Chains A and B, each alone.
Chain A
Amino acid sequence: MVKLTVNGRVHNLNVEPEMPLLWALRDELKLMGTKYGCGIAQCGACTVHVDGEPVRACRAKVADVVGKKILTIEGLSKPGLHRIQKAWIEHEVPQCGYCQTGMMMAAAALLEKKPKPTDADIDEAMTNLCRCGTYARVRKAIHAAAGQPAGKKA
């Protein structure tokens, strides 16, 4: 049994310690907002927060996150929509939307560290991949959520 704290709730899971967190979330806890895209920590569709840090859940072993606070997209919107989610809706960021939950988790973590990110900060932090090409709107929405409506050049 491993004990995982996800979105403020403690879960006892009977899983292998080497199971990636992604598959504990999706197939054991049925939290489907965190996506599989590559399994090799390249695309970031599985980004969650572990103790506030953005982590690619496809490469984080369950054993390594025991006792840590895990936040997924389902927890980000509680109690109300996160300002990143509000900005995502306002600026119509998603297209297919598959990578967007990971994208928003990465963006939310960025704003915690850098409340007023520059474009260079965004380029560095937002390594998530999007095949639909939402990048311009991702940037715009991050600036908007940070209260920088016009966007801030590096």
Chain B
Amino acid sequence: MTLQADRRTFLKASAAVGGGLALEFSFPALAKPQAKAAATEVNAWIVIHPDDRVAIRIARSEMGQGTYTALAQLVAEELDCDWNKVSAEFASPNEHVRRKRIWGSMSTGGSQGVRSSQDYVRKAGASARQMLVAAAAAQWKVPAAECSVEKGVIIHGPSKRRLRYGQVATAAAKLEPPKDVKLRDPKDWKIAGKPIKRLDIPDKVLGKPVFGTDVNLPGLLHASIAQCPVFGGKVKSVDSAEAETMRGVKKIVREADFVAVVADNWWRANEALKKVKVDWDFGANANVSDETIFKMLRDGLAEPKLAEARKVGDASAAMAGAAKVIEAEYASPYLNHATMEPQVCTAWIKPDGFVEVWTSTQNAEASLAAAAETAGVPLEKVEVHKAMLGGGFGRRGAPQDFVKQGVAIAKQMPGTPVKMMWSREEDMQHGYYRPASVVRMKAGLDAAGNIVAFEAKIACPSILALLRPEAIQKGIDFSAVRSLNDMPYQIANQQVDYAMKNPHVPVGFWRAPGLQNAMYRECFIDELAAAAGKDPLDYRLAMLKPGDKNRLVLEAAAKTAGWGTPLPAGVFRGLAVADGFGSFTAGVAEVSVKPDGTLKIHRFVMAIDSGHVVNPDTCAAQAESNVVYGIGSLYQSNTIRNGRVVERNFQDFVLPEISEMPKVETVLVPTGGFWGGHGEPGILSFAPAVLNAVAQATGKRVRTLPIKPGDLKKA
């Protein structure tokens, strides 16, 4: 049996369970079912139509980072097809389960989308190319070595005969895939490495229904949800008498930890929800506040025995012998991802028990597992239709809370599809927040100002403890200690310790988890440079080994920014360097601070070495994105009072506006030989470069975020 037959079986099976409704959507995965019957699956990643159109299957999610297009570029590069005939479609998670995870990981986080699938997707392209050429050669009865390929056309050199991919795809699919394939040297790339236009943009510009919130089905009902304001609280009792009488209301759903109203229009559901009186059991955390949380973190720092995250040399002895000792405490608040599209999940329990889910997810396999578990059915009885994500930033990966809720609601409405969407207020107050943290650093300098000893004590809630406890090693959550326990700086004596303190506030992977440490470290290095009377760039370079890619990006950013050259009056520079998520980045910020304390970021130069670059325009867009996300992080916070988040919406969790956008210059310096990410690394150097520039501008060292109005006012 060929894979193609398997695919057809699947299509028949899905039609039998309701695939006939597929034409209701514009979701990429569902947009072209009618054409599939005539197309051939050459391998799991590549479907070729008789007219040479090539559909490339994408296993990772698309949330604006461009992975959908970049992966298609990598496959198309090795396949040697005509890019103008390429489309992308999401691989089916249900088929993925039944085909023994043939598409590898579907998880889309940690800037892994391209870098951890590039090898096997390129091999899929190269393998299919070889099979297509072999099929043509067999038809011509010539050696394959005499054939070449130009944009999806196979040419037999000696006879000049030509066959198109569409003509030989069916024969090629029947061949045994090659055991080993040779991948193209990136310097020979024609499709990968180019600023090709993203495949998902035209539909988004037309306003086509591509997002999880855009699902539309016959008989679809809508749900709005209320969870206990205090994290972890439970429903004690519900009085829904008034809500039940309201127009359009179909059902009040009560679960252990949430209440939802199902209605025929989301606004009606949400209005009725406001009239539901819920008596909550707040549990043990109703008195927790920022004060108690930061006390817990600082008390953690004072504990005698902490988990050791790094030990080099003897920091305490070297500290004792230092000419000068500098100490500082840095802190930052909880932060919501605040994706523009709130959490959303449509679920439909079919009469035969099959469960269909449509959602905006960073991990469709996790969504499928969550749906199956909640519905109480085997994995094979669930399909997850992957939508485009209205932002992700880490919110839509590990937790899958929204899928569990969506399916739980649908279970109470068997046979009826229900789209559950959170209100913005619910989304703001029920996130998986970037952890609040407190870090104390201490450095010993010798008489020349060189760092001879470095100590850091980190108190930070553990993301892994909540979401992946099996990944904790010897009491260390790597995401809580990174950038401090893996410094590129050559310092002979280092001691880094971690106090894992886990308040009840849920924490999660927020764009570049652990980035607070990069900020603390790079700001503290500037403090030390100042104490040593050294230029911040020279001070860093002196501690970076020759050939270190941190050094390369730092020099690239400094050169582009004109580090050390005069600036307009009132404008000051700051810089920072950090590596993470497979890449190396450095930034130079140019800022000014008005006498009233208003901060203006004029320019940001960001240099990145990601080894290879698959789409330079998308990488530049990610650099711009990291800058804007970083600007928000300077003044946003989620405050905890009475066990709950205080902020409710965008009026008190303020997002940067267009007027705050600085000129961003992205300097791509790929040195080859490795594959780094782009979705997150850029943000690592942003906040510290800006705060270092602010210190130059004001003489004030910001050590605690958020920056509040007036903080930067001239004294």
Whole-angstrom distance between the Cβ of A2 and the nearest chain B Cβ:
14
**Chain B residues within 8 Å of A45, by CB:** 340
Which A20-48 residues have a C-beta within 8 angstroms of B? 20, 22-23, 26-28, 30, 32-40, 42-43, 45
Which A37-75 residues have a C-beta within 8 angstroms of B? 37-40, 42-43, 45, 72-74
Binds A, one of B1-9, B194-202, B529-537: B194-202
Taken together as a complex, chains A and B put the C-alpha atoms of A126 and B658 apart, in Å, by: 7
State whether the Cβ of A136 lies closer than 8 Å to any Cβ in chain B.
yes
Q: Is the CB of A101 within 8 A of B207?
A: yes
In the complex formed, the residue of A with least CB distance to B211 is: A98
Which B647-700 residues have a C-beta within 8 angstroms of A? 649-651, 655-661, 663-664
**Binary interface encoding of chain B residues 369-397 relative to chain A, with 1 for a CB under 8 A from any of its CBs, else 0:** 00000000000000000001111110000
In the complex formed, the residue of B with least CB distance to A36 is: B213
Whole-angstrom distance between the Cβ of B230 and the nearest chain A Cβ:
23
State whether the Cβ of A10 lies closer than 8 Å to any Cβ in chain B.
no
Q: Is the CB of A131 within 8 A of B339?
A: yes
Given A27-B265, A77-B206, A92-B617, A36:B342 Cβ within 8 A: yes
State whether the Cβ of B625 lies closer than 8 Å to any Cβ in chain A.
yes
Q: Is the CB of B628 within 8 A of A38?
A: no
Q: Is the CB of A97 within 8 A of B267?
A: no
Q: Is the CB of A39 within 8 A of B216?
A: no
Q: Is the CB of B340 within 8 A of A99?
A: yes
Whole-angstrom distance between the Cβ of A24 and the nearest chain B Cβ:
8
State whether the Cβ of A3 lies closer than 8 Å to any Cβ in chain B.
no
Q: Is the CB of A98 within 8 A of B340?
A: yes
Q: Is the CB of A100 within 8 A of B205?
A: yes
In the complex formed, the residue of B with least CB distance to A139 is: B658
Q: Is the CB of A38 within 8 A of B64?
A: no
Taken together as a complex, chains A and B put the C-alpha atoms of A93 and B64 apart, in Å, by: 10
Q: Is the CB of A40 within 8 A of B265?
A: no
Other-chain contact of B267, A20, A38, A137 (Cβ < 8 Å): A20
Residues of A in contact, count (CB < 8 Å): 58
State whether the Cβ of A144 lies closer than 8 Å to any Cβ in chain B.
no
**Chain B residues within 8 Å of A138, by CB:** 658
Which A92-144 residues have a C-beta within 8 angstroms of B? 92-101, 104, 122-123, 126-139
Whole-angstrom distance between the Cβ of B360 and the nearest chain A Cβ:
9
State whether the Cβ of B629 lies closer than 8 Å to any Cβ in chain A.
yes
Taken together as a complex, chains A and B put the C-alpha atoms of A53 and B390 apart, in Å, by: 26
Other-chain contact of B388, A37, A40, A97 (Cβ < 8 Å): A97
Q: Is the CB of A132 within 8 A of B625?
A: yes
Whole-angstrom distance between the Cβ of B487 and the nearest chain A Cβ:
28
Given A32-B216, A39-B424, A98-B390, A132:B658 Cβ within 8 A: no
In the complex formed, the residue of B with least CB distance to A40 is: B649
**Chain B residues within 8 Å of A101, by CB:** 207
Most buried by B among A19, A101, A130: A130
Taken together as a complex, chains A and B put the C-alpha atoms of A22 and B213 apart, in Å, by: 13
Q: Is the CB of B628 within 8 A of A135?
A: yes
Q: Is the CB of B650 within 8 A of A129?
A: yes
Q: Is the CB of B628 within 8 A of A132?
A: yes
State whether the Cβ of B129 lies closer than 8 Å to any Cβ in chain A.
no
Taken together as a complex, chains A and B put the C-alpha atoms of A130 and B264 apart, in Å, by: 29
Whole-angstrom distance between the Cβ of B275 and the nearest chain A Cβ:
14
Q: Is the CB of A130 within 8 A of B628?
A: yes
Taken together as a complex, chains A and B put the C-alpha atoms of A33 and B347 apart, in Å, by: 21
**Chain B residues within 8 Å of A122, by CB:** 658
Other-chain contact of A42, B264, B389, B650 (Cβ < 8 Å): B650
Q: Is the CB of B207 within 8 A of A28?
A: no
State whether the Cβ of B441 lies closer than 8 Å to any Cβ in chain A.
no
Whole-angstrom distance between the Cβ of A109 and the nearest chain B Cβ:
15
Q: Is the CB of A131 within 8 A of B338?
A: yes
State whether the Cβ of B594 lies closer than 8 Å to any Cβ in chain A.
no
**Chain B residues within 8 Å of A34, by CB:** 207
**Chain A residues within 8 Å of B421, by CB:** 36
**Binary interface encoding of chain A residues 70-86 relative to chain B, with 1 for a CB under 8 A from any of its CBs, else 0:** 00111011000100010
**Chain B residues within 8 Å of A130, by CB:** 340, 628, 655
**Chain A residues within 8 Å of B190, by CB:** none
In the complex formed, the residue of B with least CB distance to A105 is: B207
Which B604-622 residues have a C-beta within 8 angstroms of A? 617-618, 621
In the complex formed, the residue of B with least CB distance to A31 is: B207
State whether the Cβ of B209 lies closer than 8 Å to any Cβ in chain A.
yes
**Chain B residues within 8 Å of A74, by CB:** 207
Q: Is the CB of B202 within 8 A of A89?
A: yes
Q: Is the CB of A133 within 8 A of B626?
A: yes
Most buried by A among B197, B204, B264, B657: B204
Top 5 closest pairs, chain A to chain B, by CB:
A33-B207, A133-B628, A95-B64, A98-B390, A97-B204
Residues of A within 8 A of B (CB): 15-16, 19-20, 22-23, 26-28, 30, 32-40, 42-43, 45, 72-74, 76-77, 81, 85, 88-89, 92-101, 104, 122-123, 126-139
Residues of B within 8 A of A (CB): 63-66, 197-198, 200-202, 204-211, 213-214, 216, 222, 247, 264-268, 338-342, 388-393, 421, 423-424, 617-618, 621, 624-629, 649-651, 655-661, 663-664
Given A23-B267, A122-B658, 20 other A-B residues pairs in contact with their CB atoms under 8 A? A19-B267, A22-B267, A23-B265, A36-B266, A38-B650, A40-B424, A45-B340, A74-B207, A89-B205, A92-B621, A94-B204, A95-B65, A97-B201, A98-B390, A98-B391, A129-B340, A129-B655, A133-B626, A133-B629, A136-B663
